[in-house]
Every structure is written in C-alpha cells, then in structure tokens.
Structure 1
C-alpha cells in the first residue's frame, strides 16, 4: 500500500491541481482545484478514486477557483488553507476582476489548517506545515512515507513564489523554505503549484533564489 498521485494542469494559468490517493483503499484528496473541474472529475472517475476531502494550500484564485462547485459535486469538505489567508478567500470576486477570470462561487473552508495538523485518507497521512511568505496563510502538505510534498506556490523548479501580492514577504518566504522544507530531506520530491516537479536537494544545489550548495548525497 502506498501513496499515488497525478497532476492535472488546469485553467489558462496551467497551475497544478493534484490528486493524491491510497492505492489500497482508493480514498484520496484533491489539492488546489483552481478550475476546469470537469477535467479533474474525469481523472477521478477514470482512476476509480473516492475523494474524501478537498485541500487548499493558499487562497489565490488560480488555486481555489473550482473549489465550491467541486466540493458540491463530490459532497466533500474543504480543508485549508491557514486562517491567515481568509482575506484572500473573502476577496475571490475581486481576484476574478483583477485577473480577468469569470466570477467564481464564494466559499469558506470547513476547517482551517494549522502547523502540526494532519490529513488522513485510507492508510495515508499528509502532515501540514505553515509556510507563509507567498501568502500569510500558505500551507505545505508532506507525506513522510512517500517522501513527497505538495508545496503550492512556495517553491518551484528553479524559482520561488512571488511576494509582491498583499501581505507577501520575501524574507518570510525564504525562511519558510529553509526552516520548513529543507529539513524534510534532499530526497523529497515536490509538486509545485506551477511547472515540473523537482526535489528539495536539486533546489538546494541549483535554485538561484535559495541554493545553499548542499551536496545532493
């Protein structure tokens, strides 16, 4: 029994919506359904997964835009992000206007996430880390067993998240990466909010924003 995942790029922003599931129970979660929910549900159906939760890493429109209709369709609760991103969720309609998106349905999560929380499905568990900087309420999800993390817009392959949005902060973001992500191990693979996967070790060795030139092995 092990953790499986599939990345489903959605919307014109091509952000990574992730489906993670336990291959024994076939229970799973959807992380950051930014839109194109028919594409997401088609993959859920094709894979034969029973989704038990939607989990959000942060409150930006391109990662939460499809949440309300998907939660209603699947009849599942929404967990996350951290409550410090409540102002982003409260401003979803303004975000739509800012980015030229059609209006999306407002919602509130059924549960805010905090450092030390965990998310269970089947035999799998994701640990929650509060990682502010890109947004104040950003969280990262980590499977110790699978050495896999869903990091939203904190870290990318070769880059890091923007900090020029309201309540973003560059130094806080760097601290989140160094103090929360690096201790999870160089071998840990991560699913970023946009673009291809990488490992923390690769980013420590070569990412121009956060490299510390640690050897990979």
Structure 2
C-alpha cells in the first residue's frame, strides 16, 4: 500500500518507558496522541516533524505513566481527552498522590468523553473501535483500527507477557478473559502496540506467550 490510511510513531516516555503513540490519518494529517503520560517536550516535536495536527488525546487506562500529564497536555493543545472507561475514575483521582510516590508528574483531570465497549473514536477520517478489557485496571480499553490491522492495547498484553493484576482493583481472570474473548477474535495477523516494550502480533502470542498461549490455557 503506497499510502496506508493510518500511520503511527511510538515515543517512549517517563522513567517507566511507556509507549506513547502518535497515530494519524494520512488523508487529513490529523492525529491523536495515545497515552501521553509525560515528557511532553519530547512529544510536540514528533507531531511537528510528521506534519500532524493533533485533534485529541486517547487514553487506554488511568495509570500515571499512561495519563499523568494528559490533562496538562490537553489544555496546552486545546484538544479533548477521550477514554478510558469510567471504571478507571478511581485511578485518575489519585494521579497527584501517585505522582509524588513514583516521581512522575501527575495531575488529576476529567476526560471529555468516557468510553465503553462498542464505542468508536475518530481521528481525522479514521474510525477506531473501542474494546473494554478490564483486569490490569477496571476501566482499561483497547483501540483497534481494523483496516490497518493495528491495535493499541496499553498494558493488557505484551510481547511474551500480560499486564500486572496485583494493583488495587486488578483481576487476573478478567484479564485472561479480555485477551481471549476481545483480542484474539480481531485476528492473528493484527499487530499490537503494547504499553511497554516491542510490538508483536496476536498469532505470535497465541503460539508463544507463557500466560495466554493456546497451549498454556489448555493446561489451565
């Protein structure tokens, strides 16, 4: 495809090396930052470099490395915040105190639009589907652009691992169920950008991931 409908650039931010992703519509050159948790001075130049006009911020969940400075950034850019699911209000309400604890800047904010399973978000002319995938946090969501076979999964799934569930309101079984019932049906060739570390695809994880490979779950 000479000019795919969507492009993406990954910028690791905060001391936790969280994958912030700039996605944009190649037709309109309008884009969104997904999980701009911090290091805002590193994010602005990326949008400028690609000639992208940022029109919104999208959030997968309420942990500080993913959204600590999202409210600050949204005000600065004059754009709305969409996501996560309202069940993560608990986490967003504690961003100030978590910031002090982790040495990461965090500021409480109210999203312009909470998202639920089955919702859609637009970025330029792109339409992304929203899947509620609780377990790592109760309000975690995943964004999927079907034509690009690309999913932004936050901390639900990683290459060779899955999200932690030992935080408050975490639930291991919910997480496994979300991965197998919401993500696997999107297709093995779907590439996913996780919240940390390298990208992978669902087929590879179904073969090799020690937590959610088909063979591992068959033994459970």
Between the aligned partners of 1:73 and 1:42, the Cα distance in structure 2 is 14
Separation (CA, whole Å) in 2 of partners of 1:122 and 1:78: 15
Deviations along 1:84-127, one digit per CA (max 9) or x if unpaired, are 0001001111211332334x322110110001111112221110
Structure 2 equivalent of residue 195 of structure 1: 197
- Distance in 2, matches of 1:150 and 1:159, equals 16
Report how many residues are paired: 213
Contact 2:68/2:104 (<8 A) preserved: no
Displacement after TM superposition at 1:213 (Å) = 4.5
Query: Which shifted more, 59-68 or 144-153?
Result: 59-68
Structure 1 segment 37-186 matched on structure 2, within 5 A: 37-102=40-105, 104-186=106-188
Aligned mates of 1:183, 1:84 — CA distance in 2:
24
Instruction: Tell me whether 1:28 sits opposite 2:31 in the alignment.
Output: yes
Stretches of structure 1 lacking an aligned partner (at least 5 in a row):
none
TM-score, L = length of structure 1? 0.96
Find the residue that maps to 2:12 and give its secondary structure. strand
Question: Distance in 1 between the 2:199 and 2:64 partners?
Answer: 22
Segments of structure 2 that go 5 or more residues without pairing to the other structure are: none
Q: CA deviation at 1:24?
A: 1.0
Cα deviations by residue, 1:158-178 (Å, 9 ceiling, x for unpaired): 000000000000000000000
What whole-Å deviation, never above 9, does each CA across 1:190-215 have from its counterpart, x for those lacking one? 0000000000000000000000049x
Distance 1:122 1:92 in 2: 30
